[in-house]
Structures are given as C-alpha cells and as structure tokens.
Amino acid sequence: MSLLNPRLLLAFTLALGLAACGFTPAFGPAGPATALRGTIALADTNSRDGFEFIKRMEERLGRATAARFDLDYQISSEKTSLGFTPDGAITRFNLAGTVTWTLKDRATAQVVANGVEQNFTAWSATGVTIAAVNAESDAKARLIRILADQVIQRLIALSPQLTAGE
C-alpha cells in the first residue's frame, strides 16, 4: 500500500480547503443554525399533514422552549394518476405538494423570512387494496417530511441573518 493514496490525498485536500474558507457545520459548535434550536414555535394544527410537518420540524430543530419566532404554514397536495393498464386500471400515482410558510419575529410580529417549497412523491397502485391504501399513506408522510426538510434547509441557510445580534 502506498503512502500517497489518491483518496486520502483528495480527502485531506478537501478538508484543508474547507477549513481555509471558514467552513463551519450549521449545527456544529458555534454554527449559525445552533441558535435556531428550540426558538421556532410552530402554528397549531388539526390535520394529519400538519402533525407530520410539526413532528419533522421538531425532530430537526427541537420543540420551542424559548420561542423567538413563530412559523405559520399551509400545506396542500394534489394526487394525479400516472400509469394505466390496457384495460384502464391505474397502476401509479403521483402526489405533488406545496408548503407556504412565513417566519415572524415574536417580539415585533415582523416577517423575517417566508417561502414556498414544492416537491412530489409517487407510489404504485398494483396489488391488493389495503397495500395501495398503505402505499398512499406512506407517500403522503414522505412528502410532508420532504417539505419540512426543505423549510429547515431554507431556515438553516438564513440562520446567520436570523440569529445576528444575539
């Protein structure tokens, strides 16, 4: 084995480059997104989609214990048929979803960030009815999780501006 392993050399070069540019992991020590943990209160919901959204947001950002921000959101989705058999039976569905969100400073009620995130999932409808129902439910949960992750990614990207002045 050679001391100049190309993979090791590449990894070292990349690590050195990231360190030189001031790279800090978002949730690492002194990372800008660390200050977001436990500071975002999510709007209450009575829908399954809303519960899934809140669950994922709290998994990633924590439950609001010292809320500085309020996050309002609206989730919508649309199911469309994709695949058909020669006799007209549907074999595949697509579920497109959108979450429109607004982040407000709790002290001033000013909007500090907002956005619209979109994505989709799909599932196969072949098989027995209960399998198709479960596949649809799973696709819906995956979609909401994806949308929540997109909102979180946007908040992480904005975290230096959101937490400035702390």
10-49 confidence digits (pLDDT tens)? 776 766 665 556 666 666 666 666 778 889 999 999 999 9
H-type helices in the chain, by residue range?
A: 6-20, 48-61, 129-162
- CATH number at 137 reads 3.30.160.150
23 class by beta-carbon count within 10 Å (0-12 exposed, 13-18 middle, 19+ buried): exposed
- Look at residue 12 and tell me if it is in a domain: no
- Look at residue 68 and tell me if it is in a domain: yes
pLDDT one-digit tens code per residue, 57-80: 999 999 999 899 999 999 999 999
Total count of domains within the chain: 1
pLDDT recorded at residue 129: 83
Where residue 51 falls among pLDDT bands split at 50, 70, 90? very high
Average pLDDT over residues 127-139: 88
- Look at residue 89 and tell me if it is in a domain: yes
Note whether 116 and 74 are within 8 A (CB).
Answer: no
Give 111's strand partners. 104
pLDDT recorded at residue 20: 55
Encoded amino acid at 51, one letter: F
The mean of the pLDDT values for the chain is 86
pLDDT recorded at residue 145: 97
Regarding pTM above 0.85, the answer is no
Q: Which domain holds residue 142?
A: 32-162
Q: What is the dihedral of CA 54, 57, 62, 66, to 10 degrees?
A: -70
- Look at residue 8 and tell me if it is in a domain: no
Locate tokens 């994505």: which residue?
A: 119
- Look at residue 7 and tell me if it is in a domain: no
Q: Helices 129-162 and 48-61: crossing angle, nearest 10°?
A: 50
